[in-house]
Amino acid sequence: MSGEKLLSEAQCKAAKPKEALYYLNDGGGLRLRIRPNGSRHWLFRYRIFGKEKSTSLGSYPQVSLKQARQKVWAARTIVAEGKDPVVVRRVAKTKNSAASQEVFESVAAA
């Protein structure tokens, strides 16, 4: 992220909707998408296996700039390992769902 102008919390808060969709870049693949209806979402753009992909990190202000940067840092480590962060998140969600189903079945059986 060196040489790039980083976003500030004030810039994120002051971002107003325009007629067209636009982005505020923070560097390192993190960007804030501002839609014409006023919604703001964090996106992380990355490359894996030669393909450019992106994933959502949550909506602003529920996910602050600091939290978005932390999520990007974690996602970058996953990409560095050669894994797709979206796939890793889906697998974890499926495992948690299966584990909670097993707990429910054991409680229901008792």
Taking each continuous run of H as one helix and of E as one strand, the counts in the chain are 3, 4
Per-residue pLDDT of 40-92, as tens digits, reads 999 999 998 889 999 999 999 899 999 999 999 999 999 999 898 888 888 88
- In angstroms, rounded to a whole number, what is the distance separating the alpha carbons of residues 36 and 22? 9
| pLDDT at position 67 | 92
**Identity at 51, one-letter amino acid code:** K
pLDDT mean over 94-106: 68
| pLDDT at position 44 | 93
pTM of model > 0.85? no
| pLDDT at position 104 | 61
pLDDT mean over 87-109: 72
- In angstroms, rounded to a whole number, what is the distance separating the alpha carbons of residues 29 and 47? 10
CATH 3.40.50.80 describes domain 9-83: no
Sign of the four-CA dihedral 60, 62, 64, 68:
negative
